[in-house]
Chain A
C-alpha cells in the first residue's frame, strides 16, 4: 500500500537526519557507533520501502491502522496540558484533574451525577493510595507547585 511506502520513506528521512546530526563534530570517534546505526537504519528503511507491496488484496494483515483522531484529541490535549502544568500546579492536584477528566470524558455515561458520584471519589481514593505509596512509603519528594 502507498501508506507503507510513505512510512518507510519517513523512516529513511529520519535515519538520514540521525546520520546528519552525527557528522561534523570535533570528537568524531564519539559518533562512530551511532553513525553506523544510522546507516543500518537507512538501509533497513530503504528495504522496507522497496518491499512494500502495493497490492491491497494481500496487505490486509500488514495494513497500517488509522489513528482515531476525533476520539483521541481530547486525551492528547489533556496529556499535553498535564505536562505543562504538573510541576507548577502540583502533581497531586493536576493528576486528580487528569483522572477525573479522562474518567468522565471517556466513560459510557457523560453526566454530572456520574462525574460527582463516580469519577471524583474514585480519583480521590486512587490519589490517596498513590500518596501513601510514593510519599509515605517510598519517601519520594513529589513537586508541590502552588497547590499540592
Chain B
C-alpha cells in the first residue's frame, strides 16, 4: 500500500509547515467572501514555483481543501457563500445562524467536511493507480483526444452557454499557440516583444481568475458586503460530533454525490453541494423542515463539497482532465514543475504523488481541527472590506506573476488577459475553459503533430485519429458532453418560452 509507505513524507521538514500554513490560510481565504478557491490556488502558484514539487503540491492541495471547507463560514454567518461550493450550505446554515445556532452550524459543516473529505481521498487513493495503468495504452491520437475531451467537457458542462464555453475553450487552445511552434520552431502570433516567449501559464491563470475578481470586488466595494452578521453561541464540539454522526443518511448521500460529481470532469463543488442537498431533502421524512435551519441540509451539502475534492483529482492526475476549475489550476501547478499527468506520476514520481495524496488525507484532519477553533473568530474574517481585498489581490497578482520568470512582460500579459476576461464574464464567457485550453493546448498540438507524422506514414489521418476502441470512446465522450449540454440548453429555452407564453 503505497499511500502508507509514503505517509512519513507528509510530516517531514517543510512539508508539515506548508501543510499547516496552507490549511489555516485556506480556511481564512475560504471564509472571506469574494475569494474563490480557484483564485486562491492560482495566486499561490508563483510561490510554489520556488519550492520542491512535493511541497508545492502539498500547499496547493491544502489550500484547495481548506478553502472549500472555509467557505461555509461566510455562508452560515453572513449569507454569502465563501466559495461557489457553499451555495447550498446557505439554505439551512444561515437560518441556523439566525435562530442563534451559528456555532452549531459551523461545527456540523467542518465535521461533515472531514467525513466526506476523507472518503473522497480514499476514492482518489484506490481509483487513481488503476486509471493511470489504463492510460499506459494511450498513444499520440488518444492523448490528443484526451486533451480535447478536457476542454470540451469543461466548456460544455461547466458553462451557462455550451457555445460560449466551447468558444472559450477553443480560444484558450489558440492562445497556447502564441510563441513558438513546438516542432518547426516557427515564431507565431508574436505581435509584440512581450509575447516572444508565448503566454506563460501562471500569468494566464492569475490574470484570468484574479483580475476579474478584483474588478468585481471594486464594483461592490462602496456598497459593502450586504448580509447581517449573527452572534456566536457557546456549543459543545462533542455534542455536535455525536449529533452529526447520527445523520448517517445525509452523510452517505452527501459523500456519494460528491464522489460522483467529482469524478465527472468539469463539474465542481457547487453542483455537488446543490445535488446532495436536493437528494437529502428528497429522501427525508421531514422535507418541510429543510430551508428553515435543519442541520441535515448543512451536513449533506458540506460532506458533498469536500467529498468532491479527492475524486476531482482522479481524472486530472491520470489523464490530465481536471474534475473542477480548481483542479485545472492545480494541473498548471503540476506542469510548471515538469510533472505531467499519467502513469509516470505513479512510477517515476511516485514519492511526490503519494506524498501529495497523503497530505490531502492529513489535511482533512487539520482542516477540522483549525476550523473548529476558528469558528469562534470567524466574524472578523468575514468582514474584510472589499476595497482592501481588491487592492491586496491586484498587488499580489502583480508580484506573484513577476516572480515566476522575473519578466514584466508576464505582468502585462496577466493584466491584459484579466481585463479582457472581465468583459468576457459580463458577456457570459467563463475563465475555466480558457485556462484549460491554455494548459492543454501544448499537449493537444504536440500529440496532433506527432500523430500526423505517424498517420502520414500509415493509413492516413482519419484512420489513425478516428479508429480504435479508446479513440472511439473518447470521441464518443466529447460528442456526448456537447450533445447533452445542447439538449439541456434547448430544453430550458423551450420551457422558459412556454412559461412566458402561458
B485 contacts the other chain (Cβ, under 8 Å)?
no
Known: A27-B184, A79-B415, A98-B395. A58 touches B170 (CB 8 A): no
Known: A34-B177, A83-B415. A67 touches B426 (CB 8 A): yes
Contact B395–A44 (Cβ < 8 Å) = no
Contact B174–A37 (Cβ < 8 Å) = yes
Q: For A83, what are the chain B residues with a Cβ–Cβ distance below 8 Å?
A: 411-412, 415
CA separation between A121 and B194, bound complex, in Å? 35
Among A22, A48, A102, contact of B167 (Cβ-Cβ < 8 Å): A48
A21 contacts the other chain (Cβ, under 8 Å)?
yes
Among B161, B183, B412, B426, contact of A65 (Cβ-Cβ < 8 Å): B426
Among A34, A64, A106, contact of B221 (Cβ-Cβ < 8 Å): A106
CA separation between A61 and B214, bound complex, in Å? 23
Q: For B395, what are the chain A residues with a Cβ–Cβ distance below 8 Å?
A: 95, 98-99, 126-127, 130
Quick one: which of B152-199 are within 8 Å of A by CB?
A: 160-161, 163-164, 166-167, 170-171, 173-174, 177, 181, 183-184, 186, 188-189
Contact B386–A41 (Cβ < 8 Å) = no
SS of A interface (majority): helix
Contact A107–B188 (Cβ < 8 Å) = no
CA separation between A2 and B173, bound complex, in Å? 28
CA separation between A29 and B182, bound complex, in Å? 11
Contact A57–B500 (Cβ < 8 Å) = yes
B224 contacts the other chain (Cβ, under 8 Å)?
yes
Q: Which residue of B lies closest to A110 (CB)?
A: B222
Q: For B189, what are the chain A residues with a Cβ–Cβ distance below 8 Å?
A: 21-22, 34
Q: How far is the CB of A46 from chain B (nearest CB, A)?
A: 9
Contact A138–B47 (Cβ < 8 Å) = yes
Over the window 81-100 of chain B, the binary record of Cβ atoms lying under 8 Å from chain A Cβ atoms (1 yes, 0 no) is: 00000000000000000000
Known: A48-B163, A72-B218. A87 touches B390 (CB 8 A): no
Contact B224–A108 (Cβ < 8 Å) = yes
B493 contacts the other chain (Cβ, under 8 Å)?
yes
Quick one: which of B344-385 are within 8 Å of A by CB?
A: 385
Q: How far is the CB of B156 from chain A (nearest CB, A)?
A: 11
SS of B interface (majority): helix
B219 contacts the other chain (Cβ, under 8 Å)?
yes
- Classify chain B: how many residues form its interface, as a range: 35 or more
Contact B163–A58 (Cβ < 8 Å) = no
Q: Which residue of B lies closest to A48 (CB)?
A: B163
Contact B215–A72 (Cβ < 8 Å) = yes
Among A33, A65, A66, A142, contact of B402 (Cβ-Cβ < 8 Å): A142
Contact B406–A95 (Cβ < 8 Å) = no
Contact A140–B496 (Cβ < 8 Å) = no
B201 contacts the other chain (Cβ, under 8 Å)?
no
Q: For B260, what are the chain A residues with a Cβ–Cβ distance below 8 Å?
A: none
B300 contacts the other chain (Cβ, under 8 Å)?
no
Known: A34-B189, A106-B221, A106-B387. A41 touches B170 (CB 8 A): yes
Contact A44–B166 (Cβ < 8 Å) = yes
Q: How far is the CB of B292 from chain A (nearest CB, A)?
A: 27
CA separation between A86 and B427, bound complex, in Å? 31
Q: Which residue of A lies closest to B185 (CB)?
A: A30
Contact B423–A62 (Cβ < 8 Å) = no
Q: For B279, what are the chain A residues with a Cβ–Cβ distance below 8 Å?
A: none
Quick one: which of B225-259 are within 8 Å of A by CB?
A: none
Q: List 16 A-B contacts (CB under 8 A).
A: A30-B181, A33-B449, A40-B170, A67-B423, A68-B219, A75-B215, A79-B415, A79-B419, A83-B411, A98-B391, A99-B392, A106-B218, A106-B386, A108-B224, A139-B50, A143-B402
Given contacts A72-B215, A103-B391, 13 further A-B contacts (CB under 8 A): A27-B186, A29-B183, A33-B177, A33-B448, A44-B170, A71-B218, A71-B222, A75-B390, A102-B387, A106-B222, A108-B222, A126-B395, A140-B406
Interface positions of A (Cβ within 8 A of B): 7, 11, 18, 21-22, 25, 27, 29-31, 33-34, 37-38, 40-41, 44-45, 47-48, 51, 53, 55, 57-58, 61-62, 64-68, 71-72, 75-76, 79, 82-83, 86-87, 91, 95, 98-99, 102-108, 122-123, 126-127, 130, 133-134, 138-143
Interface positions of B (Cβ within 8 A of A): 47, 50, 160-161, 163-164, 166-167, 170-171, 173-174, 177, 181, 183-184, 186, 188-189, 214-215, 218-219, 221-224, 385-388, 390-392, 394-396, 398-399, 402-403, 406, 408, 411-412, 415, 419, 422-423, 426-428, 444-445, 448-449, 493, 496-497, 500
